[in-house]
Amino acid sequence: MSRLTSKFAALKASGRKALIPFITAGDPYPEFTVPLLHEMVRAGADIIELGVPFSDPMADGPVIQRASERALSHHVGLRKVLSMAAEFRKTDQTTPLVLMGYLNPIEIMGYEAFANAAQRADIDGVLTVDMPPEEAEHCVSLLRAREIDQIFLLAPNSDAERIRKMDAVGSGYLYYVSLKGVTGAGHLDTADVERKLQIIRQNTNLPIGVGFGVKDAETAGLIAGIADAIVVGSALITKIEENLPDPEMAKAGIIALLRSMRQAIDA
């Protein structure tokens, strides 16, 4: 069983919801990342999504775009991110780690080489924003053979047929993008998400994470009432951006926000 699947099983057994922070690897500089991952786990993160910087982040809003640009200015790309993941794993053998990014870095490395590298780094899941299930078969089979989950996104306009397609190809969890738009945009309509989750659950038994629009403890608490996992990204990265001259302040801000979310989720 993959680390993600057993994590969700354990959470379910104890009646808890997963808190999943997303940060871009190498933002604002490479050495910042691994210690932050460990601290996020201590602050209550159950799973971590680690963003692979990409030069052309088409599905991201300005906050994550700038995070990517900061990381790329230090030449943090897929190979460096894999080594960060391996370093994290040295002292944390339990927290599932998901790489989130775009397909081109994986294409250039080669699917098989990537699957092998991900296995060596002990990665648990891969979420590739611009790889829909129609184009995913080869990559998924290579990853699955190594007990690595391919995670897919669902959008507000995904119909039942699409949800079943994701259910068939994806594993670990499904990530429901709660609004039409890019990361960091708009605000969350909880009632709307709740309606949509009902339809999603009729078509899959995979755990459902909700992200895009979770900003604070309040929204995290609301989502915890309806989803299996709460994903928060831009709100954390904003802390980095607001404290560029003082990365320790940024870290403190991220940790405080995560703790408050954890409390709201568990309440």
Partner 1 sequence: MTDKYDMPDALGHFGPYGGIFVAETLMPAITQLNEAYQRYLQDPEFIAELDADLKHYVGRPSPLYHAERWSRELGGAQIYLKREDLNHTGAHKVNNTVGQALLAKRMGKTRIIAETGAGQHGVATATVAARLGLECVVYMGAVDVARQALNVYRMKLLGARVVAVESGSKTLKDALNEAMRDWVTNIDNTFYIIGTVAGPHPYPAMVRDFQAVIGREAKQQCLEQAGKLPDALVACVGGGSNAIGLFYPFIDDHAVQMFGVEAAGDGIETGRHSAPLTAGRPGVLHGNRTYLMADDDGEIIETHSISAGLDYPGVGPEHAWLKDTGRAQYVSITDSEALEGFHALTKMEGIIPALESSHAMAYVTRLAPTMRQDQIIIVNLSGRGDKDMHTIAQREGIKV
Amino acid identity, position 119:
Q
CA distance 88 to 94: 11
The least distance separating partner 1 from the CB of residue 262, rounded to whole angstroms, comes to 28
CA distance 162 to 203: 9
Active-site residue identified among 49, 124, 167, 228: 49
Secondary structure of residue 214 in the 3-state scheme: coil
Q: Is 197 a binder of partner 1 (CB under 8 A)?
A: no
Pick 96 or 101: Cβ nearer partner 1:
101
Pick 44 or 156: Cβ nearer partner 1:
156
Helices (H) and strands (E) in the chain, counts: 12, 8
Contacts with partner 1 by CB under 8 A: the residue count is 46
Active-site residue identified among 27, 46, 60, 228: 60
Q: Is 77 a binder of partner 1 (CB under 8 A)?
A: yes
Render the burial of 4-31: b for 16+ CB within 10 Å, e for the rest: bbebbeebeeeeebbbbbbbbbbbbebe
- The encoded tokens of residue 64 equal 């994550």
- Asked if residues 43 and 262 have their Cβ atoms less than 8 Å apart, the reply is yes
Of 22-30, 31-39, 74-82, 242-250, the segment contacting partner 1 by CB under 8 A is 74-82
The least distance separating partner 1 from the CB of residue 176, rounded to whole angstroms, comes to 10
DSSP string, 74-106: TT--HHHHHHHHHHHHHH-SSS-EEEEE-HHHH
Of 4-12, 14-22, 50-58, 246-254, the segment contacting partner 1 by CB under 8 A is 50-58
Contact with partner 1 (CB under 8 A) among 34, 45, 78, 257: 78
Instruction: Name, in order, each residue with C-beta under 8 angstroms of 67's C-beta and a sequence gap of 6 or more.
Output: 23, 24, 27, 51, 53, 237, 240, 241
User: Mask 155-184, x = binds partner 1 (CB under 8 A)?
Assistant: xxxxx--x--------------x--xxx--
Q: Is 55 a binder of partner 1 (CB under 8 A)?
A: yes
Please, is 91 exposed, middle or buried when counting C-beta atoms within 10 Å of its C-beta (0-12, 13-18, 19+)?
exposed
Contact with partner 1 (CB under 8 A) among 34, 127, 131, 237: 131
Among residue numbers 86 through 105, which ones bind partner 1 (CB under 8 A)?
102-105
49 annotated active-site: yes
Contact with partner 1 (CB under 8 A) among 8, 22, 54, 173: 54
Q: Give catalytic residue positions.
A: 49, 60
Binding site for partner 1 (CB under 8 A): 53-62, 65, 69, 72, 75, 77-80, 102-109, 129-132, 134-135, 152-159, 162, 177, 180-182, 185
